[in-house]
Amino acid sequence: MKINLRLAFHYGLTIFLSAFLLFQVQPLIGKMILPWFGGSAAIWTTCMLFFQLVLLLGYFYSHWVTRFLSPSRQSLVHGSLLLISLLLIPISPSLDWKPMGAENPTLRILGLLTVSIGLPYFVLSTTGPLLQAWFARERSGLVPYRLFALSNFGSMLALLAYPVAVEPIFPTLWQSYLWSGLYACFAAACALLAWRGRKGIPIVQQAHHEGPAPRWTDRVLWAALAACPSILMVADTSFLTTNIAPVPMIWVAPLALYLLSFILSFERRGWYQRKVFLPLLVLGLGALAYLPTMGINELPLYVSMGINLTAFFVACMVCHGELARLQPHPSHLTGYYLMLAVGGVVGGFFVGVIAPYWFNSNYELSIGIFLTGLVAAIAVIPKMAHARPLLRGVSIVFTAAVLFALAWLRIDDHMEETRGAEVTARNFYGTLQVFNNVKGEYRTMLHGQITHGRQNTAPDKLDLPTTYYSLDGGAGKAMQIKAAQGPLRVGVIGLGVGTLVSYGRKDDYFRLYEIDPMVIDIAHKNFSFLSRTAAATEIILGDARLQLEKEPAQLFDVLLVDAFSGDSVPIHLLTREAFAQYFRHLKPKGVLAVHITNRFLDLRPVVKTAADHFSRDVRLVDSESIPEKLVFRSRWALLSNDPAFSKTHTSAAQRPSPA
């Protein structure tokens, strides 16, 4: 009995540790490469696609070796993989993979991750199904599926621990060393199990009462039930990170709920009850479909996020609960997990590759909502063999009505989004639209739901600075005061529609940094700030922080940081390392102007900490909205080492409170 308990503990601990490491490395490597690709929410989407692809390869490997190799050969092959993977730690992405400017970010991120963590991640991804198969081989009387719940518990614990107990305490390099040390422990534990099982009997030969083999329709349904939550998770996470901030705690929440639904569904059958969750699914899908139509201002942030995440969790519980009901005999375990991985990859590929490059707007969340309802109906209604024909008919009619309502609601919303748009385009960095207002008085560029530039169309108003860049705002104040001292050399991080060059004069020079080529194209074709300015301008394509690191000191009089993605400021542009680059490129008495207008994040302490560290004076400039002049409310932080500037720049300025 003690041997059995010790064996179960060994298997459980190894599976738990592999899952923990699997989901610790995701935020770790994401944090490492986030600054290299502009801090976009799409970086996380692409990383998720990589993780799902490697997970699929790992599950395929597990299925293949358990089906076609003897236990002794399984031990030899997997032990060799473990040994080789140890040669690739500690993990650290090579600087050679930093983008130069115009590369396809999706392919570069996938290549970088493959080289940096591909083999260790692959080995970890094989552990769940492979060790469950080995456990079923050794202990044929026990059901191995509860180990899947343990695996997902380890994954969820890793996700929750990273932003709370790992990221705030340990520097990135130490995180890499700690992860690599734990990986070495995992490799040793897994190698011992491989060695122990080398003389076992193949699981295929053990299955005396395995029942009928799964049909192809069963396999397709497994994949479909796995794909729907995957689509919803990545699409919903992309929406949240685009419109709030690409910080770990935002995307951790959907992924943690996704894993929690796996844990509850596979730990025991009682957690998922159709009579409870199917009615909730109807309400949840309705909420997910309706919330985007309201915009992100209609409800308080925590209310809208609470509704969103609750509805998402219900959808995951239904799909994963139905998957748990469809578990085959353990002799088909690896094939079952393989189809779950196929579904995950299909969902991730759809959101991470097809949607950004084939769609001109964000349709994937809507498609995911509709498919979840459809697939859930396909999984549930045919199983209602005990129900009366009338009840089954009513269920079919009701389901059709719900699906029609969901489709109508989302299609109508998308038609409203694009109605009157002069341009609707999308790429890796997001969706951009250009609108003329009803009276034709001005033209606007939107990034998602956020205005990123506006220009008057009247000939006498074409050069007036609008939105966040008015004469009374922080950027305008800084530009006017420094312009009084002579010709300006100005750096701008974030092009928008080029509004800031409207301050340019004949002998001025503007160097504008922009990571999104689509923004540059729209600024040239649909707006005239760049073509009308008297100043010399130069646009640098690529992530501003990387470009500034490579360039010699530019000696800017004013450097304006205004790089937005949706309503979020890319976090890597507000680090101590980023501020060091900004000040390196400023003249000794130059001004750094940081746009910190934000509905969800208070960035004043961040800027104050940076100013204190670099011994700079910092003032805030708040300006109010003036709708008739197309001016928005704004807040700018102005950092300078020039006492004269601090005294004269504005009476409306204020010192920010300490962090």
Same domain, 230 and 199: no
Q: 406 and 262 share a domain? A: yes
Tell me the β-bridge partners of 430: 427
Cα 28 to Cα 10: distance, rounded to the nearest angstrom: 27
With beta carbons less than 8 A apart as the criterion, state whether 82 and 190 touch.
yes
pLDDT of residue 656 exceeding 80, the answer is no
Average pLDDT, the chain: 84
pLDDT greater at residue 408 or residue 564:
408
What is the spatial distance between Cα 410 and Cα 361, in angstroms, rounded to a whole number?
Answer: 13
Question: What are the residues whose beta carbons fall under 8 Å from the beta carbon of 580, sequence distance 6 or more?
Answer: 614
- Asked, for residue 115, whether it belongs to a domain, the answer is yes
Highest-pLDDT range among 137-141, 207-211, 394-398, 504-508: 504-508
Percent of the chain with pLDDT over 90: 39
pLDDT at 647 > cutoff 90: no
Number of structural domains found in the chain? 3
pLDDT band for 403, please (50, 70, 90 cuts).
Answer: very high
Is there a single domain that holds both residue 362 and residue 251? yes
- Domain stop point among 206, 224, 250: 206
Q: Average pLDDT for residues 632-646, to the nearest whole number?
A: 87
Domain limit, last residue, from 386, 419, 452: 419
535 lies in the same domain as 620: yes
At 650, is the pLDDT very low, low, confident or very high (cuts 50, 70, 90)? very low
CATH number at residue 549: 3.40.50.150
Instruction: Give yes or no: residues 173 and 234 share one domain.
Output: no
215 or 602, greater pLDDT: 215
CA torsion through residues 476, 478, 484, 487, sign: negative
Q: pLDDT grade, residue 33 (50/70/90)?
A: confident
pLDDT digits (tens, 9 = 90+) for 604-622: 888 999 999 999 999 999 9
**CA distance linking residue 643 with residue 332, whole number of Å:** 74
**Together in a domain, 302 and 351:** yes
- The pLDDT confidence band at residue 449, using thresholds 50, 70 and 90, is confident
Q: What's the pLDDT score for residue 143?
A: 52
> Is 445 among the domain residues?
no
Reported as half-sphere exposure (CB side, CA atoms, 13 A), residue 154 has a value of: 23
Residue 128 is part of which domain span? Answer: 1-206
Question: Is residue 473 located within the same domain as residue 395?
Answer: no
Instruction: Starting at the earlier edge strand, list the strands of the sheet with 634-640.
Output: 536-541, 509-514, 489-493, 556-561, 586-595, 634-640, 617-623
Q: Which positions ≥6 away from 642 have C-beta within 8 Å?
A: 589, 590, 591
Segment 43-62, tens digit of pLDDT: 777 888 888 889 889 889 98
Among 387, 402, 419, where does a domain finish? Answer: 419
